[in-house]
Structure 1
Amino acid sequence: MRSFVFLTRALRAPNLSSISPVGTRTLATASTLQSIRERVAAAVTPELVETYQRDGAVCIQGLFTPSELDTLKAGIDTNLAAPSERAKVASRPDDPGWFFEDFCNWQSNVAYRDFITSSAAPTAAAALMRARTVRLYHDHLLVKEPGTTQRTPWHQDQPYYNIAGADTVSMWIPVDPVPAEATLEFVAGSHRGPWLMPRTFMDKEAKWFPEGSLADLPDIEGNRTAFPIRKWALEPGDMVCFHMLTLHASAGTTTRRRAFSIRFIGDDVRHAPRRWKTSPDFPGLSDELPEGAPMDHLLFPIVWSKASGQVVGL
């Protein structure tokens, strides 16, 4: 079991007053961008997009190159060596493994930023969402070490967030092989609603929405055959993509499972301040971005647009 005494349970976003634009850098050549377009066109077919829109979850195999994965692994190594103040251990102290999470590090982690902007991820996000513009919402590192028993319980992501809208996609990108018994599982079609009560993962308390304000989660584990559950074993280079309202979960693992998740938002997403603390939270954002406004802020940069294609460098 591993732990870091300096990790905090609170999730704190960077102080908005400290945010400044990062200089644009040339991270990919024209030939690399052409390769990205070709890879995405081959992998994200019209049929796959239809499946994503219908089911809210798809698997894309072999999209990322070894070079892209090397960049991502370097970012993960940097993150694990120096976690941010938003990091947390999401497993119990007596868990024989270790479940670690960290959030919102693209501004300080150069390898993360390079991967987000120069890999195939933004172009694939645009295709899945059928978007004219794609913004980065945030990044999320999830690591389960061998022997971790802590489950990630069934939940939707968007009720934890400060956004409204349907044009969303989360990409869950492993850099280790993930067997079927340890992979993410999804309830197909659950992104069409309803919104379900978000609860803390370990003590099951409702800490974001007042009790009774949203429907409670059905007993999926106790009645699995009643739900259209989808899951895929994954290899490095693969990813699963899912809507931020799609119900998903995962079990513990007997092998190391490092995954990097990128949350992208599209055309109809608007700022939706909550009366409670969101996860991740963005302190002070409501002072700069009115309720109902597009997410036009330095924290959420455009990474792809229909007019100019993939935006290289942040």
Structure 2
Amino acid sequence: MANADVKRQEVSEEQMAFFQEYGFVQVDNVLTAEEIKELTMFIEESMSEEEGLSVRTSNPEARLNYYRVLNQKVNVWRDHAGMARYTTHPKLASIALKLSGASGIRLFHDHALWKMPQDSKATPWHQDFPYWPMKDQFAHQTLSAWIPLDDVDEQNGCMMFIPGSHKIGKLRGINLSDPQDIFQYVQGTGLDNTQPVNVPLRKGSCTFHTGLTFHYSHPNKTDKPRRVLAIIFMPDGVVYDGKDHVVTKPLKLAPGTRLQGGVFPLLAGK
């Protein structure tokens, strides 16, 4: 990847300010049509594989309710060289570094997210950070890139965000298949009356949001899966808090261990 290509894709000062104020930002045309075509082929191959280091966290037989919300496979980059090229894409890592304000940005994990057609549920309002096994002081510098491989709108599962919700801090995790109402935790803060922002996207564009930003995605009412690559970025120096997580469990890490090395590669900075 040429340095000029990376520089061209970096976010503007206005986008950075928007992200800091509201906890999310839309970045258009981050991947070309040719890249999206290639990535779609790679991710379809990855989702069809049953062996390897990646983990399918839901299936229609064992976890039907969750499957209706999301059919998800975590760490696809570890089993497919093509996926690794996009998960570690320098354009995406450069944007994540700039938005986070960190001196270095690492990969926590990626995941392929299929919202299945017809018999689909909304992904309820939630924060991401409560599910991640990281010490709380790193919460404000964690963020996700959400990259649709199909055009997305209210009909097939685009995202919604609550502007400014990241400023509330870390709340309880929500059970995505039997959800609690996250807004009961923030009554009286103003967030319970804040208007959500709907973010339809054309494929090739994406959003970034912090690990503390409230977000939601619509059910998929179409007859095709809604396909997304999500990439979780964390600042260099993140410390494992000992909480159970599908990514860290096989590593048998001691609480207090830094998440670093080849499993959590440094993608930008430093």
Spell out, residue by residue over 1:68-110, the C-alpha distance to the aligned partner (whole angstroms, 9 max, x if none).
2233212211122114562133777489978410101212111
The residue type equivalent to 2:112 in the other structure is L
Give the whole-Å Cα distance in 2 for the aligned partners of 1:131 and 1:95: 34
**Partner residue, 2:182:** 217
Give the whole-Å Cα distance in 1 for the aligned partners of 2:119 and 2:59: 10
Contact kept? 2:111, 2:229, Cα under 8 Å: yes
Looking at CA atoms only, which structure, 1 or 2, has the larger radius of gyration?
A: 1
Structure 2 counterparts to residues 1-314 of structure 1, below 5 A? 28=1, 32-40=2-10, 44-83=11-50, 86-89=55-58, 93=64, 99-164=70-135, 165=138, 166-181=140-155, 182-204=157-179, 217-219=182-184, 226-255=193-222, 256-267=225-236, 269-274=238-243, 277-287=244-254, 290-291=255-256, 293-306=257-270
Structure 2 segments unaligned to the other structure (5+ residues) = none
Give the whole-Å Cα distance in 1 for the aligned partners of 2:64 and 2:235: 39
Contact kept? 1:71, 1:112, Cα under 8 Å: no
Segments ≥4 residues shifted beyond 4 Å: 90-98
Structure 1 segments unaligned to the other structure (5+ residues) = 1-27, 206-215, 307-314
Aligned-residue identity in percent: 25
Contact kept? 2:65, 2:177, Cα under 8 Å: no
Taking a change above 3 Å as real, the CA distance of residues 243 and 304 of structure 1, as seen in their structure-2 partners, is same
**Partner residue, 1:12:** none
Give the whole-Å Cα distance in 1 for the aligned partners of 2:246 and 2:160: 21
Give the whole-Å Cα distance in 1 for the aligned partners of 2:214 and 2:48: 31
Q: Over aligned residues, Cα RMSD in angstroms?
A: 2.8
Compute the displacement of 1:178 (Å): 0.2
The residue type equivalent to 1:226 in the other structure is N
